[in-house]
Amino acid sequence: MITVTADELPRFMACNGSRLLPASLPAAVADTKDRDEGIAAHWVAVAVFRNDFTVDELIDRKAPNGVYVTVEMVEFVQVYLDAIVALERGQIASEVETNTSFGTDQFRVNARADHMAYNAETGTLYGDDFKYGWGIVEPQEHWTLIAHAVGYCLTRQITPARIVLTIHQPRPHHPEGKSRSWEITYADLYERYLRIANTLTNPSDQLVTGIGHCGKCHALATCPAARKANMNAIDASEMAYSDEIDNETLAFELNTLRIAQTSLENRLDALEEMAKFRLKAGQVVDGYAVEIQLSNTDWKPGIDVAIMQALTGKNLAKPKLVTPKQAIKAGVSEEVVKSLTERRQTGVKLVRVDANTKAQRLFGKE
């Protein structure tokens, strides 16, 4: 029987053969600072949603995984919380970190959704996924969100008329905003459930590379398909440059090189992790060594202003202006805050706009 998690499902649906490749590194090596911050941010969201703490009470508190909660983190989390709390009212069942696992005697998908809500009055199911990272994620055909919706419907035995699946990503800029939704019908959801069931019941052995799923693959460093794609990417990057190309060719080359860049970056990250792991184990990787990186000098845990004043006789507290959002919460009018704040231009960035996005800008969303 094949068992996958909802987070692994996008990779499995795109590349069935990845299940046959052994992991190139122990799972713990893949953990990063970004991942730890994401786990802490999710903990903050759940704690506030369940009224265990207020957001202000969590600032400077250490999350269970050891990451300190910052002002910036709670502000980003608040964007997500505001969005899920603002869902239409009525006979609504709302749950965070809820079990949405499902399966048969031939496969199982283990899943835990960030937030699910069902409005029985309107027959609407909401599925929300909180992404704290910077990499843009879209809700359309997002297999993790689809799995949560499928599991929720099967375990609760409901057939909603509308399913609204939303990605909440408060940190990176996106032309469509911090929260982006994809609406489907129950028939659409059922058709995708059948695809999941068929793929997990009768998987192929084919290896398929792609930007969306290769980066988090357990076997990226040793995958033969990824190795071939990287060699092709190097070929693409070495094509002769000409400033006489037309705009259509320019767009094509930009797309090609962006794909090549992402492929190479993903592969490089995987190989660097493999090299560090082998060097720590005492193996020799010619031309490379492990260097311990240190943070900036900081006070040891437990050292605060009161202790320093008692030890040194000096008040080392530093006055700090609160953020604009905190000022509004403290009672300062939004008009005053708006007149005293600004968003500075930090540069110009070229962004790719697909046909869907262009159409929505021209004609509006359905």
The CA–CA distances, whole Å, from 84 to 75, 168, 325 equal 15, 9, 19
Q: How does DSSP assign 23-56, residue by residue? A: PSS-GGGG--HHHHHHHHHHHHHHHHHTTSS-HH
Residue 95 sits in the same domain as residue 194: yes
Give the strand pairing for 102-103 and 2-5: unpaired
For residue 42, pLDDT over 80 is answered with yes
Q: What is the mean pLDDT of the chain?
A: 80
Residue 19 sits in the same domain as residue 128: yes
Q: Which of 173, 196, 169, 194 is nearest to 181 (CA)?
A: 169
For residue 205, pLDDT over 50 is answered with yes
Residue 234 sits in the same domain as residue 336: no
Is residue 148 within 8 A of residue 113, CB to CB? The reply is: yes
Question: Which pLDDT does position 356 carry in this prediction?
Answer: 59
For residue 65, pLDDT over 60 is answered with yes
Long-range CB contacts (within 8 A, 24+) of 177-186: 178/79, 178/83, 179/79, 179/80, 179/83, 180/138, 180/139, 181/139, 182/138, 182/139, 182/140, 182/141, 182/142, 182/145, 185/161, 186/153, 186/159, 186/160, 186/161
Is residue 220 within 8 A of residue 227, CB to CB? The reply is: no
CA dist., res. 66 & res. 48, Å (int)? 18
Q: To 10 degrees, the CA torsion angle through 31, 34, 39, 45?
A: -170
- Which range of residues forms the domain containing residue 260? 211-280
Q: Which residue has the higher pLDDT, 90 or 136?
A: 136
Q: How does DSSP assign 139-165, residue by residue? A: -TT-HHHHHHHHHHHHHHT---SEEEE
Q: Highest mean pLDDT: which of 11-25, 49-63, 335-349? A: 49-63
Residue 26 sits in the same domain as residue 128: yes
Residue 162 sits in the same domain as residue 197: yes
Q: Which of 280, 325, 274 is nearest to 82 (CA)?
A: 325
Among the candidates 201, 227, 250, a domain finishes at: 201
In a domain, 71, yes or no: no
Residue 116 sits in the same domain as residue 21: yes
Question: Which pLDDT does position 222 carry in this prediction?
Answer: 60
Residue 129 sits in the same domain as residue 262: no
Residue 231 sits in the same domain as residue 356: no
In a domain, 296, yes or no: no
Residue 241 sits in the same domain as residue 325: no
Q: To 10 degrees, the CA torsion angle through 221, 236, 207, 150?
A: 100
In a domain, 59, yes or no: no
In a domain, 45, yes or no: no
Among the candidates 154, 182, 201, a domain finishes at: 201
How many structural domains are present in the chain? Answer: 3
pLDDT band at 27, cuts 50/70/90?
very low
- Among 4-13, 94-103, 122-131, the range scoring the smallest mean pLDDT is 4-13
Give the strand pairing for 179-185 and 107-110: unpaired
In a domain, 63, yes or no: no
CA dist., res. 187 & res. 193, Å (int)? 10
- Three-state DSSP at 216 gives coil
In a domain, 297, yes or no: no
pLDDT band at 288, cuts 50/70/90?
confident
For residue 137, pLDDT over 60 is answered with yes
In a domain, 26, yes or no: yes
In a domain, 37, yes or no: no
- Averaged pLDDT, 39-52: 93
Question: Which pLDDT does position 300 carry in this prediction?
Answer: 81
Residue type for position 362: L
Residue 242 sits in the same domain as residue 351: no
Give the strand pairing for 112-119 and 179-185: unpaired
Specify the DSSP class assigned to residue 62: B
Q: What is the pLDDT of residues 229-270, one digit of tens each?
A: 555 555 555 555 556 677 887 787 777 777 777 777 777 777
Is residue 184 within 8 A of residue 163, CB to CB? The reply is: yes
Residue 14 sits in the same domain as residue 156: yes
Among the candidates 162, 180, 201, a domain finishes at: 201
Residue 141 sits in the same domain as residue 217: no
Question: Which pLDDT does position 117 carry in this prediction?
Answer: 94
